């Protein structure tokens, strides 16, 4: 199984690292170290792939696997701490370690291990910052740095209530991610991934600012910048909805147009949608139905029914996913209240 493979690879990593730091005769040590580094690099790559598989959202929601997930995360953190803290670890291995810490942080986040997610986000950021400081010319180091700050900012935005400085960390990390992706875009103007990631950070920062103070003028400014970047890069279905939320209090007509644009894009991408895309689409239908209840009641009812259908299909396709079941129960309950308010059946 994947979990057994993780344990085997972890053992190989430990053995390779012990061999790598062992003191030997100079010539033999160099040859042996080179082989050990290759072994360790191979094991790290395998660990990355396995952790990516473990990051499947469906696995993290299976109650029977929670204890196993916690053990894998704990063991992996200890293992990577051993060699990243050792003096003289080659930069390329530090780079792989930082990528693994980012994967571990996301895995811990998905499995609701928030304290471990915070710990591993901090480790990934420290390693990425060190690598960029040592060699700022390496584009992959700068990409990693931008990615880990965006990942950390997203984590703290969603879990800010669990940490006394959660909001400040989310603001800081998202803003820094924006700056880093802007710098990357200047270095490689033709790369569309950088503006797409910058747009994601801008949209998240807009939502966070709105939660802090809905009247903050930066809410609309950030959302508009994120929307404009997204339009040029990937035309995300998420961007119009965030801008609509920001504009709703001041320009309902424009906001309604953007809500409809968002839903149209979700529908057009349904044939290639991932589970996360489908969850986002279902949530968008639910959110827009609430927004349209009084201005466009017939359209709102259609969206309520669409949300119920989408969550129902998700529950059929992913029967062990607690998040989908919770979403369906919430939508059905709120749809019932909507029908009662409007005397419909």
Q: 199-236: buried (b, 16+ CB within 10 Å) or exposed (e) per residue?
A: bbbbbbbbbbbbeeeeeeeebbebbbbbbebbeebbeb
What confidence tier does 5 reach under pLDDT thresholds 50, 70, 90? low
- What value does the mean pLDDT take over residues 156-180? 94
Judge whether 165 and 149 are in contact, CB under 8 Å: no
pLDDT score for 267: 94
pLDDT tens track for 47-104: 677 666 665 555 555 555 556 666 666 666 666 666 656 545 678 777 877 887 787 7
Judge whether 269 and 277 are in contact, CB under 8 Å: yes
CA distances (Å), 160 to each of 53, 132, 204, 208, 211, in order? Answer: 27, 27, 13, 10, 11
Cα dihedral sign, 165-171-176-181: positive
Q: What's the first-to-final CA gap in the chain, in angstroms?
A: 49
What confidence tier does 119 reach under pLDDT thresholds 50, 70, 90? confident
CA 12 remoteness from chain centre: 29
75 against 240, higher pLDDT? 240
- Look at phi and psi of residue 260 and say left if phi exceeds 0, alpha if psi is from -120 to 50, else beta: alpha
What confidence tier does 323 reach under pLDDT thresholds 50, 70, 90? confident
CA quadruple 21, 24, 26, 28: dihedral, nearest 10: -100
pLDDT score for 87: 44
Q: Among candidates 102, 146, 145, 95, which has minimal Cα distance to 120?
A: 102
Share of the chain above pLDDT 90, in %: 52
d(C-alpha 20, C-alpha 92), whole Å: 14
- What value does the mean pLDDT take over residues 203-221? 96
286 pLDDT exceeds 70?
Answer: yes
Most confident of 62-76, 98-112, 212-226: 212-226
For the whole model, what pTM was predicted? Answer: 0.81
Beta-carbon contacts of residue 252 (< 8 Å; ≥ 6 apart): 295
pLDDT score for 26: 64
Long-range contacts of 35-41 (CB under 8 A, 24+ apart): 37/90, 37/93, 39/12, 40/13, 40/16, 40/83, 40/93, 41/92, 41/93, 41/96
CA quadruple 9, 10, 12, 18: dihedral, nearest 10: 160
d(C-alpha 312, C-alpha 174), whole Å: 34
Cα dihedral sign, 153-154-157-159: negative
d(C-alpha 332, C-alpha 290), whole Å: 13
- What value does the mean pLDDT take over residues 179-206? 95
3 pLDDT exceeds 90?
Answer: no
Q: Crossing angle of helices 275-292/252-268, nearest 10°?
A: 150
> Encoding tokens for residue 100?
């693994």
Residue 93: count other Cβ atoms within 10 Å of its Cβ: 17
């Amino acid at each position: 199984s994947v979990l057994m493979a993780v344990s085997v690879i972890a053992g190989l990593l430990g053995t390779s690292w012990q061999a790598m730091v062992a003191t030997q005769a100079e010539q033999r040590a160099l040859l042996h170290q080179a082989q050990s580094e290759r072994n360790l690099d191979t094991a790290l790559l395998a660990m990355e792939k396995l952790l990516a598989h473990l990051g499947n959202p469906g696995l993290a929601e299976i109650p029977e696997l929670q204890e196993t997930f916690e053990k894998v995360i704990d063991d992996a953190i200890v293992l990577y701490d051993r060699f990243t803290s050792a003096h003289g670890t080659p930069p390329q291995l530090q780079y792989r370690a930082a990528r693994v810490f980012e994967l571990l942080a996301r895995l811990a986040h998905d499995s609701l291990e928030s304290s471990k997610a915070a710990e591993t986000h901090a480790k990934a950021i420290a390693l990425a910052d060190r690598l960029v400081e040592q060699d700022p010319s390496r584009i992959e180091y700068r990409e990693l740095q931008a990615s880990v700050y965006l990942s950390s900012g997203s984590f703290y935005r969603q879990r800010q209530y669990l940490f006394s400085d959660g909001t400040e960390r989310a603001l800081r990390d998202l803003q820094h991610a924006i700056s880093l992706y802007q710098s990357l875009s200047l270095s490689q103007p033709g790369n569309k991934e950088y503006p797409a990631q910058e747009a994601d950070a801008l949209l998240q920062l807009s939502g966070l600012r709105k939660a802090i103070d809905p009247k903050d003028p930066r809410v609309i400014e950030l959302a508009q910048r994120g929307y404009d970047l997204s339009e040029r890069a990937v035309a995300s279905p998420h961007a119009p909805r965030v801008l609509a939320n920001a504009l709703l209090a001041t320009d309902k007509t424009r906001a309604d147009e953007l809500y409809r644009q968002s839903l149209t894009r979700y529908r057009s991408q349904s044939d290639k949608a991932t589970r996360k895309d489908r969850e986002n689409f279902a949530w968008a239908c639910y959110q827009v139905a609430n927004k349209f209840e009084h201005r466009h009641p017939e359209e709102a009812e259609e969206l309520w029914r669409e949300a119920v259908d989408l969550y129902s299909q998700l529950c059929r396709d992913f029967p062990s996913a607690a998040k989908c079941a919770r979403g369906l129960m919430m939508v059905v309950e709120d749809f019932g209240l909507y029908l009662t308010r409007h005397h419909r059946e």
